[in-house]
Amino acid sequence: MTKIHFRTILVLIIALAVIFGMGLFVYRIVSNSSEWIQHTYNGHLSGNGGLADAGIIYDRNGNVLAYSEDKLRLYNYDEVTRLSTLHVVGDDSMNISSAVQSSYRSYLTGYNFFFGLGLPKTLRKGNDITLNIDSNACNTAYYALDGYNGAVVVYNYKTGEVLCSVSTPTYDPLNPPELTEENESEYDGIYVDKVLAGRYAPGSTFKIVTLACALENIPNVENEIFTCNGAKKIGGKEVTCMHIHGDLNLKEGLSQSCNIVFAELAERLGKDKMTRTAEKMGFNTSYEINGTYTAKGNYNVAKANKNDLAWSGIGQYTVEANPMQMAIMCGAIANGGTAILPDEIKSNAIKSIVNNGQKNLISSDIAQKLDEYMRYDVTNYYGDDLFPSLTVCAKTGTAEVGEGREPHAWMIGYAQDEDAPLAFAVIVENGGYGYSTAGPVAVAAMEACALITRNNQ
Ligand SMILES: [Zn+2]
């Protein structure tokens, strides 16, 4: 009797295991099949990583950026356009994971859940995708980067449309590089869309966050006078400034980008308030952009001593920012505190499944103050003629990277113009001084995008 009982239980266990295994198998097929079938090792695909019959990718003006012909995946006829749009469009491989050809591969190939790619071609239809980017604006930004590595993004902060997004180094999708040990450094980061996935020390562009925190938490901070002697001991160690600024108020502190003013403020504000403002303004957050996620910026002062905290207030210590995140922060300031999240894709069919939405980053009165300060920066420091046709609010940054290399150059900001509501972030790796290297790139990209929004009206 005991023996039979034991066998019954054994059979039951085996049966349950089989049912569980089947369940897992079905679950994995349901959840992963569209991904598996797209892999290049799938022998049913006719080359080109499954893109042989995929739909067309257009830019916002109907320029063809990628298409399929005679089982081949082909790209724009112009080499510079192929280079400047690579990280948004992608290539035959899925190496650039955030690119449209990777994240919307099923949609582009017309993958069907029941039939996979097994339907006859007449029944299976690859879907086309229209992007918000303008290939001419991307080309302009690419030329302006002038061989430097980095990232440029410009987006419409009223609609969310990403008009220009460029990441370098780049390569020609018709002739992808074969990476070897010798050329590794030349192609470092080549598969990364740095607009979405790059992370860099923000340097002085972070002073906008410290400024917002100070305006919010220190009564009368605008009437205070700070003193910069070129260096100051905070927490027993020195914080240094590029210049000896003497006496200056908060507004002059930002426009002259004085380190002492903002290091001192961060130390006075303390870890909790600084962290709260930084997080509210987009640090330690990942934004969903058309189904992929931006790299999280970093503001973590949990283990910081007083001197570290002071350096964090000027965007050094361990602080990191993502270019798209910084553009979103600027878009929010321009928009009275609320960010309309960026959108790379124009096609309605995809829009209906992706909700980019909006997010409140700053209270409207602080946003208004930041607007005033960032505008003062341009008129009183960079010079208002820097942007020929635009009324721009901006902040530059020069982020030290150590090891005897040139610092990274940043410029972030936005235009106040109603007919060109554009926010931007530019990072030029090892570009040196922020204003002189990132400035011209920002001007070129912003003016190119202003032509687009003005023509659309
Ligand atoms: Zn100073």
- Looking at residue 404, its pLDDT comes to 86
For ligand 1, the distance from its centroid to the CA atom of residue 228, given in whole angstroms, is 5
Question: With pLDDT > 70 as the criterion, what percentage of the chain qualifies?
Answer: 89
Residues 6+ apart with CB under 8 A from 433: 398, 407, 409
Alpha-carbon distance of 210 to 213, in angstroms, equals: 5
Query: What would the pLDDT profile of 295-328 be if each residue is shown by its tens digit?
Result: 999 999 999 999 999 999 999 999 999 999 999 9
Task: Give me the helix-helix angle, 364-377 and 207-217, nearest 10°.
Answer: 130
Output phi, psi for 162, to 5 deg. Answer: -85, 115
Distance 396 CA to ligand 1 centre (A): 15
Q: Averaged over 371-378, what is the pLDDT?
A: 96
Q: Helix, strand or coil for residue 302?
A: coil
* Candidate from 69-73, 140-144, 436-440 with smallest mean pLDDT: 69-73
- Could you tell me the distance, in angstroms and rounded to a whole number, from the CA of residue 345 to the centre of ligand 1? 43
The rounded Å distance from CA 384 to ligand 1 centre is 23
Distance 290 CA to ligand 1 centre (A): 41
Which pLDDT value is given to residue 126?
83
Q: How far is the CA of 260 from the centre of ligand 1 (A)?
A: 5
Residue 355, pLDDT above cutoff 70? no
- The CA 277 to ligand 1 mean position distance, Å, reads 23
Beta strand pairing call for 392-399 and 422-428: unpaired
The C-alpha atoms of residue 344 and residue 294 are separated, in whole angstroms, by 13
CA of 365 to the centre of ligand 1 (A): 27
Q: Would you say residue 47 has pLDDT above 70?
A: no
The pLDDT assigned to 326 comes to 98
- Whether residue 74 is predicted with pLDDT greater than 90 in this model: the reply is yes
Asked which of 82-86, 224-228, 428-432 is least confident by mean pLDDT, the reply is: 428-432
Compute the distance from residue 207 Cα to the ligand 1 centre, in Å: 13
Question: How confident is the model at residue 350, as a pLDDT?
Answer: 65
**Residue 262 Cα to ligand 1 middle (Å):** 9
What pLDDT, in 10s, does the model give residues 110-123? Answer: 876 555 655 555 55
Question: What count of other Cβ atoms lies within 10 Å of the Cβ of residue 220?
Answer: 6
Q: What is the pLDDT of residue 115?
A: 56
Reported as a pLDDT band with limits 50, 70 and 90, residue 43 is very low
What mean pLDDT is predicted for residues 55-80? 95
* Ligand 1: centre distance to CA 208 (Å): 16
Number of other residues whose CB lies within 10 A of the CB of residue 88 = 30
The CA 256 to ligand 1 mean position distance, Å, reads 8
Q: Give residue 394 CA to ligand 1 midpoint distance, Å.
A: 19
pLDDT band per the 50, 70, 90 thresholds, residue 40: very low
In terms of C-beta density within 10 A (0-12 exposed, 13-18 middle, 19 or more buried), how is residue 354 classed?
middle
Gap from CA of 261 to ligand 1 centroid (Å): 7
**Region 170-182 average pLDDT:** 88
Spacing, Cα 239 to ligand 1 middle (Å): 10
Distance separating alpha carbons of residues 276 and 255, to the nearest angstrom: 24
Alpha-carbon dihedral angle through residues 91, 92, 98, 102, given to the nearest 10 degrees: 140
Q: What confidence tier does 44 reach under pLDDT thresholds 50, 70, 90?
A: very low
pLDDT at 13 over 90: no
Q: What is the DSSP string of 117-183?
A: T-S-TTT--PPPEEBS--HHHHHHHHHHHTT--EEEEEEETTT-BEEEEEEES---TTSPPPP-TTT
pLDDT at 343 over 60: yes
C-alpha–C-alpha distance, residues 206 and 397, integer Å = 8
Q: C-alpha angle with apex 351: 348 to 356, nearest 5 degrees?
A: 150
Cβ-based neighbours of 455, under 8 Å, separated by 6 or more: none
Ligand 1 center to residue 214 CA distance, Å? 17
Report the chain's mean pLDDT, rounded to a whole number.
Answer: 89
User: Between the CA of residue 422 and those of 246, 302, 392, 443, what are the distances in Å?
Assistant: 35, 35, 9, 12
Give the pLDDT confidence of 235-290 residue by residue, as tens digits: 999 999 999 999 999 999 999 999 999 999 999 999 999 999 999 999 999 999 88
Report how far ligand 1's centroid is from the alpha carbon of 97 (Å): 42
CB-CB contact of 49 with 38 (8 Å): yes
Q: What pLDDT, on a 0 to 100 scale, did the predictor assign at position 7?
A: 79
pLDDT grade, residue 45 (50/70/90)?
very low
Q: Region 82-105: what's the mean pLDDT?
A: 93
Domains in the chain, CATH or no CATH each: 48-104+126-131 (no CATH), 137-173+188-456 (3.40.710.10)
Please give the model's pTM, rounded to 2 decimal places. 0.88
Backbone angles phi, psi at 276, to 5 degrees: -60, -50
> How remote is the CA of residue 203 from the centroid of ligand 1, in Å?
14
Centre of ligand 1 to C-alpha 398, Å, is 14
356: number of Cβ within 10 Å:
17
The pLDDT, as a whole number, for residue 130 is: 95
pLDDT > 90: what percent of the chain? 69
449 forms beta bridges with none
Q: How far is the CA of 233 from the centre of ligand 1 (A)?
A: 13
* Sign of the torsion angle spanned by Cα atoms 161, 383, 205, 185: positive
Whole-number Å distance, alpha carbon 176 to ligand 1 midpoint, is: 47
Which residues, in sequence order, are bridge partners of residue 422? 156
Q: For residue 196, what pLDDT band results from cuts at 50, 70 and 90?
A: very high
Asked if the model's pLDDT at residue 428 lies above 70, the reply is: yes
Where does the pLDDT of residue 41 fall: very low under 50, low under 70, confident under 90, or very high at 90 and above? very low
